[in-house]
Structure 1
């Protein structure tokens, strides 16, 4: 399927692990291929599914794919794969367990299991960094609070270190701090290797309501880290778009949040927003360009709802997957890939099937023109 689609973004040159993109003549995304991995595909004794993050290592021409299995099917893990941009079959090449600090795989117990969501390769350190959303269970039977986390590991899956998280990101039993399943979904590095950005999927309780059908005040935070000191040094507010479609029935679950980001420079990000509504088959995946050049550092603001004296990230729409006119599932990851035969760059997106036979593990391979 080939279709030309408006992609009104001038992408900046990206990380040294990717091919750079000419900033002067990017005007379109062209869908080259859509590839679906069959349900319950097995690889090296594991079930391939739940793929929620993807990154490209140009030096080795390999992709890293993190799986959001909370050690329920098999141990929490990530894969390496070949993802051809010419339409050939996606091939998985290795699988590694995600390690706890003691080096052992994560168990399935709710107080210890991670919720893996994003993984990036840092070519400046030759390491992988991945994020977990943690856990927040507060009910009459149990209170389980596990903070979101950012881990650094070797490419072979050996634990190295963690990054400290801002005080606002600690889980709490009261309606304060992050929401369940609403924390660290996206991350990325600046091309010079000096900074890392981590995005929060949904608003913290203090920062206001979740996205609604007509809500325009759903604020999330994007956290900036200094990679030399490993400390968070700034936070920026970003306003989510409304949920794309009404759920069926009307009071059923619906969400819009940020499943991934691409860091183009210290001030330029591509933001992916994913909207899902019960009873609606397609997810609505929208890409935006975020500019942090004039955004306020909101690190000291405890409530973005109560204190509105800040300038958020500037936001421009870039691309809507609805233009593809194909079934779009739970797309959660994106990466810039290799150069194409025509010299243009590629963009690869991946959908998480949630280990469900009603959903699909999808790869979208685009040419950037």
Structure 2
């Protein structure tokens, strides 16, 4: 009888210990992430229009100039309808609503020779304002035409200032089967500035929308979701330095989803934390999810020539779902850009999303969504 009682006590102890350890693991996992929440406030549709001889649309990236209370949005026009460009917008908020969005200006981008970009020599997708009063803009390239992706810095008049060095593995080479795939390049770009002076170093993050050619295995469809994220430090002198490259795992598509990819990222004030916007298209239209991502303890994959095989030895960036926009039960469009906006009336932080209408106003629209970001 005593032996049975002893075994029972030991068994209960083991079970309790197991539950304690697993609860501790859960708590530790929760502590990795910030306690964030997003409250949907409003939606606004920009009317279809032309501005200074350009077709307004294709808004695939957005950034906010806090000092001037202005937004800069990049158009993904490949210099087909008008030269490659970004627009300056003024957004008026009132009573937690978007009262008005006005176009204040358009800026044409210039290449190395000081000329506007020729047709199909650029595919601009993301934009980020830097602390030195310039914008960094990413182009995902046009692989089938041999147009390489790039990340360039421009002044606010559109003049080229500098170029971020891109590793050769991102440059498309059909014979070697490497580089960004068509439309799967640098859709995202964000800047994290810690300094107080314009000349202080800052961080730049970018990621591919989906896997590079060499990271995709036809026999393993899930490998298409293995995006690469790059982390640079931009100094006042010399070229930006790539300090790490990490695996970003795009979420598996929900039932009925045809396409799912990483469309933008945004660096939070807290070090090592970002938001990620994943946009999808399915049988029921567009959808989007916003994730919190954490860079800590992610494996540096700079030396990994391919991610098309077993990656059990790689720690990806950690992700946590903040909001599935489908749960809002509102009409969603092709959301591609994310940024903080001005403070709301109660002092809380606003978050703005913008959609790319693909220059098809009868089917898609230019949509702005307003959210309130809360931290506890």
Range of TM-score over shorter length: 0.7 to 0.9
Partner of residue 31 from structure 1, selected from 16, 26, 40: 40
Aligned equivalents of 2:310, 2:279: Cα separation in 1: 27
* Corresponding residue of 1:349: 353
- Distance in 2, matches of 1:234 and 1:27, equals 26
Alpha-carbon deviation of 1:10? 10
Superposition RMSD on alpha carbons, in Å?
2.3
In 2: Cα distance, 1:307 partner to 1:209 partner: 11
- Would the alpha carbon gap of residues 246 and 121 (structure 1) be closer, same or farther in structure 2, given more than 3 Å must change? same
- Cα deviation for residue 85 of structure 1 reads 2.5
Equivalent position of 1:361 in the other structure:
366
| Deviation of 1:218 (Å) | 2.1
Displacement of 1:245:
4.0
Provide the residue aligned with 1:189 in structure 2.
191
* Counterpart selection for 1:274 from 276, 279, 292: 279
Task: Report the Cα distance in structure 1 between the residues aligned to 2:294 and 2:349, rounded to whole angstroms.
Answer: 22
Query: How far off is 1:243 after superposition?
Result: 2.0
Aligned partner of 2:250 among 240, 249, 254: 240
Deviation of 1:188 (Å): 1.0
Q: Match for 1:89 among 80, 100, 103? A: 100
Q: Which aligned segments of 4 or more residues in structure 1 are displaced greater than 6 angstroms?
A: 9-12
CA distance in 1, matches of 2:170, 2:181: 10
- Given that 1:244 and 1:275 are in contact with CA atoms closer than 8 Å, whether structure 2 keeps it comes out as no
> Which residue of 98, 103, 116 corresponds with 2:124?
116
1:150-299 alignment, distance < 5 Å: 150-174=151-175, 175-192=177-194, 193-209=201-217, 215=222, 218-228=225-235, 229-246=239-256, 254-264=258-268, 265-277=270-282, 280-299=283-302
**5+ unaligned residues in a row in structure 2: which ranges?**
1-29, 195-200
Aligned match of 1:131: 138
Contact 1:244/1:284 (8 A) holds in 2: no
Query: Hey, which of these two has a bigger chunk of helix by percent?
Result: 2
C-alpha distance in 2 between matches for 1:324 and 1:239: 24
Which residue of structure 1 aligns with residue 82 of structure 2? 74
Q: Distance in 1 between matches of 2:231 and 2:163?
A: 15
Q: Is the CA contact (8 Å cut-off) linking 2:171 and 2:178 kept in structure 1?
A: no
Q: Larger Rg: 1 or 2?
A: 2
Where does the alignment leave 5 or more consecutive residues of structure 1 unmatched? 1-8, 13-22, 138-143, 248-253
Number of residues paired by the alignment?
A: 329
